[in-house]
Amino acid sequence: MTTEARTILGPAAAALAQAGIASARQDARLLLGLALGRDGAVLPHEDVNSWTNDMDSMFQTYIQRRLAGEPVSRIRGWREFWSLNFELSAATLDPRPDSEILVERAVAFGRDHPGAAGGKNLRLLDMGTGSGCLLLACLSELTMATGVGIDINPDAIEMAAHNAGALGLADRAVFSVADFTASLERLGCFDIILSNPPYIPSAQISTLSSEVALHDPLLALDGGQDGLDCWRVLMPEMAKLLSTQGRIFVEIGDGQEADVTALAGAAGFSATGVFADLSGTQRCLVLSRRS
C-alpha cells in the first residue's frame, strides 16, 4: 500500500511538539526514515511504498522513545559529526556540533605546522576519545597524520576502533584503554593533542536536558565538585606528551576559561587562543608550551 508521508508524519510531529520538543517535525521525519531503513529524513510530500503494520509499529516505538526524552541519535545509533557518521554506544558521549570547533582549529593548525610542510607525518593524541569523533575527524582532513585515542572505558575503545574501520581510517588510528593518571610517555610525543574531558560540576548534571543527563555516560560528564577534576590531572600529563612546536585543543565548559587557563599555566602552557562554538560560548581553548 502506498501512503503519502505527511499522513504518517502529521500525528507524530504533533505529539512531539505537544511534548515541548522544538525539533518535532525534523525528528519525526528522521525517525520515519529509520523505520524505512534510510539514513536521511523523509519529506512530507514523498510517497511511502509498502507501508506495513510492522513498519508502523516500529515507527510508533521510535516516537515513544523520543517522547521519553531519548535523543534521535541514540534511537538511530549514530550521529553525524564533521559530515562523518559515528556509531554510538552507551559508553560514548553523543558528539555535538559545538565540538566541531576543536576539529576546525586543530586541522587549521595541522595544515600550517612546519613539520607538515616538510613532509613530516604529524602525530595526534585524543585523550578521552569516546566514539573517536575528534581524532577521526581530524585524520580525515590531515591525510598524512596518524593518531592515538585513549579512553578509560574498554567499550568506548571498541566503538572508536569500529568507527575508524567504517571510515577507512583504521590504518592511521590506534585506540588503547588507559586513564589520565597512567604514565603515557610510552606513547611518545604528539604534535596535536585533543581532549573533551568531563567538565560539568557534579551538582549541575541533574539540571541538564534529559537527552544529556539520562543518555550520555556519567563518566564522560562529571567533572567533580567544581568541574575541574580532570583538568588538574590532564594538564601535567599533557606537559609530558606535547612536542616542542605542538598545540593542545581542549573543550571547556561555559565560564571555565580562566580556571582552565590557570591550571594550564601551572603546567607550563600558555593560552594562544579561545574560540566560540555555534552558540557563541567560548568552547575551544588552544594551548602551547610557554616560550
- Mind listing the pLDDT tens digit for each residue in 70-85? 999 999 999 999 999 9
Residue 48: which residues within 8 A CB-CB, separation 6 or more?
Answer: 2, 3, 4, 5, 8, 32, 36, 42
Per-residue pLDDT at 115 exceeds 80: no
Q: What pLDDT shows up at residue 74? A: 96
Question: Based on the domain organization, do 261 and 210 belong to the same domain?
Answer: yes
Distance in angstroms (rounded) separating the CA atoms of residues 250 and 261: 11
Distance in angstroms (rounded) separating the CA atoms of residues 265 and 259: 10
Q: State which residues form the domain around 273.
A: 88-289
Q: Is residue 82 part of a domain?
A: no
Q: What pLDDT shows up at residue 120? A: 65
Question: Based on the domain organization, do 56 and 116 belong to the same domain?
Answer: no
Phi, psi for residue 94 in degrees, rounded to 5: -80, 110
Q: What pLDDT shows up at residue 3? A: 82
Q: Is residue 213 part of a domain?
A: yes
Distance in angstroms (rounded) separating the CA atoms of residues 27 and 31: 6
Question: Based on the domain organization, do 28 and 103 belong to the same domain?
Answer: no
Phi, psi for residue 288 in degrees, rounded to 5: -140, 165
Task: Tell me the pairing of strands 269-276 and 173-177.
Answer: unpaired
How many structural domains compose the chain? 2
Question: Based on the domain organization, do 53 and 158 belong to the same domain?
Answer: no
**215-252 pLDDT per residue, tens:** 999 989 999 999 999 999 999 999 999 999 999 999 99
Question: Based on the domain organization, do 273 and 157 belong to the same domain?
Answer: yes
Taking residues 84-95, report their average pLDDT: 96
Q: Is residue 110 part of a domain?
A: yes
Taking residues 259-287, report their average pLDDT: 95
Question: Based on the domain organization, do 58 and 92 belong to the same domain?
Answer: no
Percent of the chain at pLDDT exceeding 70: 98
Per-residue pLDDT at 117 exceeds 80: no
Taking residues 142-148, report their average pLDDT: 94
